[in-house]
Chains A and B, each alone.
Chain A
Amino acid sequence: MAQSFKLPDLGEGIHEGEVIAVLVSVGDEVKEGDLIIEVETDKAAVEIPSPFTGKVREIRVKPDDVVTVGQVLMTFGDGEEAEPGPAEKPAEPKTERVYPPSAGRKQEPVPASPATRRLARELGVDLRQVQPTGPGGRVTGQDVRSFAEKAAAPEVKPVVAVKSGKAALSVTAEAPELPDFSKWGPVESIPLRSIRKTTARQMGLAWSQIPHAVSQDMADITKLESFRQKHKGNIQGKGGKLTLIVFVLKAVVTALKTFPYFNSTLDKAAGEIILKRYYHLGVAVDTDNGLMVPVIRDVDRKSIEEISLELKELVQKARDRKVSLEEMQGGTFTITNAGALGGGQFIPIINYPQVAILGMGAAGWQPVVVENEKKEPEIVPRLMMPMVVCIDHRVLDGSDAIRFLKTVVNALEDPEELLMTMI
């Protein structure tokens, strides 16, 4: 019996991917669970295991092909039996069948009424990307609106269904046409793909949707650094890496618990702020392939040691492109460490639909004026780290930003206090 292996649903909003490598060849015996194909989606590279045990009969894709969810990638079987042709199928309508979006099947027009097609043009939606819900894979007007909604809010589903028309407001205006740059000199066009494409979309979305406000401060991490130096060998021995960001993660969780609105999402459609009672913190990782943000789950329930181990592993996976989609989803707040590359002051962009992001600059020795025991001002060298928090001013105010950042700074300045708040 021949079996078709179709690109499975890869999770939230992922409709298509690019084949990076086909890991089997025709004739290979494959066991269920063996990895058979590697596909790069907008968010990550995924290795997909075989759902069948059998012989690979036919491979229908090759590297660089763009494949859609539901598309047949390869077939398995003993090779004696052909896949049932369409003509042999019964004539009755197949209402239960789920149709994939039409992407990749360029030659076929997408079934949709003229009014739906016009709506798609108005909302700037590519019908081929839309998951159809109508009979026989027909795209409905509602499908188009939902798709436009989802594009505007990729991670959070609105609690209340958005009424028609609202979607039009959330689509950003078209940028004016670009000039022909080649008339001033040679140019090269690089297609916007995978992670770069996602980053472009996500940052454009965040910048256009979120009114950003910024608060900056300096944290004196002299004590923390000596604490870190003292224990890092111990953690290293266990396979982890005790970096500064590990402490920042813990300090942030403390601040998030004190200021719960920093751990929220604005649901414009429902007119609600959704507070999240879990603390999944994303850490921005610079990789050869671009920016990736793996998420450490339940940071509040993990020890410094656990986080050190997990973070090291996640960063490595991100750099190896082995991080799974699930490992990059569900974040409630993000930390980005420009200091790791020596960066000083900077202003990050909030990771939509989160409402705040914390940035760390490079720590350095600075002359700091402090009061000595005699209450006299005195210049002493201190290890200072620039910190910045960007907030969604719709949800949070500048005063919140200052208080939040002070809480983080205070926790970092006094490791003992940090330890106390962790309990």
Chain B
Amino acid sequence: MVMGELVQETDVLVIGGGPGGYTAAFRAADLGFDVTLLDMQMKPGGECLFQGCIPSKALLFLAEVIHDARRTGSMGVTFDAPRIELDKVRAWKEKVIDRLANGLVTLGNKRGVQLVKGEAVFEGSDTIRLHDSEVGRIKFRHAILATGSVPRSLPGMAFKPNGRIMNSAGALEIKDIPESLLIIGGGYIGLELGTVYAALGSKITLVEMENRLLSEVDPDLVMPLNRRLNEIFKAIHVSTRVLSLNERKDRVEAVFEGDVDNPEQTFDRVLVAVGRQPNSKGLGLDTTKVTVDANGFVIVDEQQRTSDERIFAIGDLTGVPLLAHKASHQGKVAAEVIAGKPSAFDVRVIPAIIYTDPQIAWCGLTEEQARKQHRSIRVEHYPWKLSGRATTMGATDGLTKIITDTETLRVLGMGIVGRDAEGLISEGALAIEMGAQLEDLALTVHPHPTLSETLAETAEIYLGLATHILPGQHGEPSTPESSR
């Protein structure tokens, strides 16, 4: 076989093996298509599995255990200081990834999905050329673009491999535990990785350009996290910009501008977490009819079709939010539309979770969005200090809030900050998708004692039925003035 000469043909070519891509490929195979899944890695999983969601959550689990072990001291159980063996931590993280990746390989093989390693460049609306692959070209009837997104770098400061200035992928390699770590960017990636490194013992300094952390999340949900981060981080500077980063052999010198006392500081390492951008460059899309917006996102319709009738696109590549579960849902839609099914990406909510401690989760409209869109909403809050379950875990710094349309009493949005918010938010997602009213939540028996009770009680406040809040205490309409 001569490298680069072989031309293959396939019904459905999926480009990118992340959660969106492999879900699309598997669904297409289940619908009877001959499917080829192309990725730059040998195994499916993509950024999420190898350099994103999965390794970060493995490390955040450790961070949570470390933190829990510390705080039980006040409850009468004291552990010695943890001994951190970084080799074993990395090995465990790799084991988690391997296990999941191998599972995907098995699932793909059993479905008859052909996995091809390589980098794709379009040569037209029906063919791609491959780089770095045994296969030269692939002709396809339909293609699903799922190339995702890549970390954004600071202007004029590209990431160097093995450098002290890292992106999220580099930080997840945990080459060492830096004594001091500067995190640039107060979004969820910066906060999650900051939580990991803080638990491992690094002194974290975080800078954020905006005037608060997590600017897309309602401020009241961010407050408990802010309190916690102020404890575990050395410093948080909002409204602050990084003017320059100067990488030396053993340190990085940073110059700040903004709300910071000492504008010149040095750090052992720097994590740049200033967002992600669509991975649409270099794909040869100009040889197809696919159109891309000013930010580089591929333009798609509700059926995930691009403006090229043969080519679909899903996931991060198609716009915000950049979330794996959105990509996989869209992957199924694309496969089903190719199969002629009346499928559409018709969702009311895409829940989002930040795996910090405490976690933040929300779905549907945020309070800010709701105020912009609806004339008449009501926001009810249930503070977790009133929750029995939260008290038993010493996790009372939390909040559950529900945003309701006062006209229809329909749930528009839900936000949770607190322990295990990740497990609680799906009830809100289901409620909104089902068009549920507050009463539906209030009248569903929630098990006691659980954190899920906070959802029901929040709903009960509005209806005047809450047990742990006196009637009328929280019943007044929340206006922009009263909530600020």
Question: Chain A: residues with CB nearer than 8 A to chain B?
Answer: 85-87, 89, 91-93, 107, 109, 111-114, 117-118, 121-122, 124, 134-139
Contacts and interface: CB of A to CB of B under 8 A. Distances in A.
Given A111-B408, A121-B342, A91 B464 contact: yes
B346 A86 contact: no
A73 B434 CA distance: 30
B99 to A, nearest CB: 31
Contact of A93 (B344, B348, B437): B437
B344 A121 contact: yes
Contact of A87 (B347, B410, B475, B477): B477
Contact of B410 (A111, A114, A117, A122): A111
A86 B406 contact: yes
A4 to B, nearest CB: 14
B433 interface: yes
A118 B477 CA distance: 35
Interface residues of B, number: 24
Interface of B: 342-344, 346-348, 373, 375-376, 406-410, 433-435, 437, 439, 462-464, 475, 477
B437 A113 contact: no
A113 B433 contact: yes
Contacts, number: 53
B433 A114 contact: yes
A92 B344 CA distance: 35
Given A112-B435, A121-B343, A124-B342, 16 more contacts: A85-B376, A89-B407, A91-B406, A91-B464, A91-B475, A93-B409, A111-B408, A113-B434, A113-B435, A114-B433, A121-B342, A122-B342, A136-B408, A136-B435, A137-B408, A138-B435
Contact of B463 (A91, A121, A139): A91
Contact of B406 (A87, A111, A124, A139): A87
Nearest to A107: B373
Contacts of A109: 348
A78 B375 CA distance: 25
B409 A136 contact: yes
Given A93-B439, A121-B342, A86 B433 contact: no
Tell me which of A86, A89, A113, A124 has the highest count of chain B C-beta atoms within 10 A of its own C-beta.
Answer: A86
18 contacts: A89-B406, A91-B462, A91-B464, A93-B409, A93-B439, A109-B348, A113-B433, A113-B434, A114-B433, A114-B434, A121-B342, A121-B343, A121-B344, A124-B342, A136-B408, A136-B409, A136-B410, A137-B408
Contacts of B434: 113-114
A89 B405 CA distance: 12
B216 to A, nearest CB: 21
B187 to A, nearest CB: 28
Contacts of A89: 406-407
B435 A87 contact: no
Contacts of A111: 408, 410, 435
Contacts of B342: 118, 121-122, 124
Central interface residue in B407, B410, B434, B435, by most chain A CB within 10 Å: B435
A144 to B, nearest CB: 13
Contacts of A136: 408-410, 435, 437
A81 to B, nearest CB: 19
Contacts of A86: 375-376, 406-407
A87 B408 contact: no
Contacts of A118: 342-343, 346
Contacts of B346: 114, 117-118, 121
A139 B410 CA distance: 13
A85 B374 CA distance: 13
B328 to A, nearest CB: 15
A365 to B, nearest CB: 58
Contacts of B439: 93
Nearest to A85: B376
Nearest to B434: A113
A114 B376 CA distance: 25
Contacts of A139: 435
A92 B439 CA distance: 9
B15 to A, nearest CB: 26
Nearest to B344: A121
The 6 closest A-B pairs by CB, nearest first: A111-B435, A121-B342, A86-B376, A138-B435, A136-B408, A113-B434
